[in-house]
Structure 1
């Protein structure tokens, strides 16, 4: 079984100096590839560094909505240059966060739309963060013709109807440890009906640790438990979920056929 963690933050502080150990631990759980995701200057640089250092890691870089207030012409110029490096497979994570509101909502919306335009110009998929902002996120994706570049709704946390609406825009749906939480009924129903050719899996580590390690620090290897949770919901072999999501990641990120 081969598993692809499509969204993890091995570039974040909890893993500093221990990245090789976590990569090895992930491999022991059949998580053999991962996308390291940035969100600002520091974390983008960290994602690039790790993807350059390890052949089984790829980088996703962009400006998170919480950092949108710090997005400038200079940071955009740097981002565009970095996006064209061979280790970068998508632009992200970008989107809207109306929970923390650390950047004004109009600024979040403008920076989100601008980064979609950049992704389209580079023919590159996007990785979308949306928290307490599903309707606004959907409208911006629709208005900006996101089908032209495609992408991911990362750590999907909506119900079956939202699943269908985002899929209608051509988006892939990535399930995180939330799908293993016993009270996440909407996400359970979405995971049951999500077409396998649209599905991805992730940890969003160090956040959203899945059962059976909920309450402890997450790590990329725990993508295995996300796969197992989805397989249990769908009453299939975990290897089926792993194979489909691994192939989908390779296709979306243009990493070559499996």
Structure 2
């Protein structure tokens, strides 16, 4: 049984032939027992919750992605109110992205600091997006005392040094389909060196489909390919990777395991 620790079900290109129910059925057939659907903007939250909220095998988070900060602005008290809801299991996606947006760094930092404050207040883990902002991301997590809420560095593509710094703060490292790409040498080095007890696996669907589906829309069912690559790098059986990363997920997000046949 697998868990997809990070996907965006509300961003899938739903058609008459492939609706959300079919995507979830395909995930179940691929032995994916739980999915975490990630919020990227408060304006989209109610729509996302409407799509996934009735499915007991899907949980969701609330946050403002760093690349949405410039458009959506400061989220203030609204973020805290939504994240305090019992049905919200995590704060984010939040973080810093200096690769795609160098023009709103201060706004990103202000938003990130607020997300850390909220996560500590509601005692729910952070979901971190970081790109070309290694030093600032770690510095802000330390300054905000994020070790108290912990969290996950999602879709990790940074250095082993940064991974180790995040581990020291109690964070998990989440591996996406990028690990299957031919040019992902540094990421594979990270996977080889981070303890399996601190790894999660994800799809980041609908983006970053792993080999052999690269170039197609990504779906939670494909998380098994991430697990297979991690297993090969760690010298473990796929079943071991599935079991350990699944347990890591439930421990971090304080969720009860859901039976796949329910």
TM-score, length basis structure 2: 0.92
CA distance in 1, matches of 2:171, 2:149: 9
Contact 1:209 1:216 in 2 (8 A): yes
Contact 1:155 1:176 in 2 (8 A): yes
* 1:48 aligned partner: 49
* 2:111 aligned partner: 111
CA distance in 1, matches of 2:63, 2:142: 20
Residues 192-250 of structure 1: CA distance to partner in whole angstroms, max 9, x if unpaired? 12112211110001111101111111111111110011001112100111001111111
Deviation at 1:103, TM superposition (A): 5.8
Q: Which moved more, 1:61-70 or 1:38-47?
A: 38-47
Deviation at 1:62, TM superposition (A): 0.3
CA distance in 2, matches of 1:98, 1:249: 28
* 1:120 aligned partner: 120
Deviation at 1:131, TM superposition (A): 1.1
* 1:6 aligned partner: 5
* 1:28 aligned partner: 29
CA distance in 2, matches of 1:192, 1:201: 14
* 1:256 aligned partner: 256
CA distance in 1, matches of 2:116, 2:210: 30
Paired residue secondary structure (2:91) = strand
Q: Which moved more, 1:232-241 or 1:100-109?
A: 100-109
Deviation at 1:19, TM superposition (A): 1.0
CA distance change for structure 1 residues 32 and 16 in 2, over 3 Å: closer, same or farther?
A: farther
Contact 2:176 2:203 in 1 (8 A): yes
Alignment of 1:1-258 (within 5 A): 2-15=1-14, 18-69=19-70, 70-72=72-74, 75-101=75-101, 104-256=104-256
CA distance in 2, matches of 1:127, 1:95: 8
The two structures, once aligned, show a CA RMSD in angstroms of: 1.6
Contact 1:48 1:88 in 2 (8 A): no
CA distance in 1, matches of 2:32, 2:245: 12
Q: Which moved more, 1:15-24 or 1:176-185?
A: 15-24
CA distance change for structure 1 residues 103 and 46 in 2, over 3 Å: closer, same or farther?
A: farther
CA distance change for structure 1 residues 42 and 66 in 2, over 3 Å: closer, same or farther?
A: same
Structure 2 runs not aligned, ≥5 long: none
CA distance in 2, matches of 1:245, 1:103: 37
Contact 2:12 2:205 in 1 (8 A): no
TM-score, length basis structure 1: 0.94
Deviation at 1:165, TM superposition (A): 1.4
Contact 1:37 1:93 in 2 (8 A): yes
Contact 2:12 2:206 in 1 (8 A): no
Deviation at 1:135, TM superposition (A): 1.6
Contact 1:51 1:58 in 2 (8 A): yes
Contact 1:89 1:253 in 2 (8 A): yes
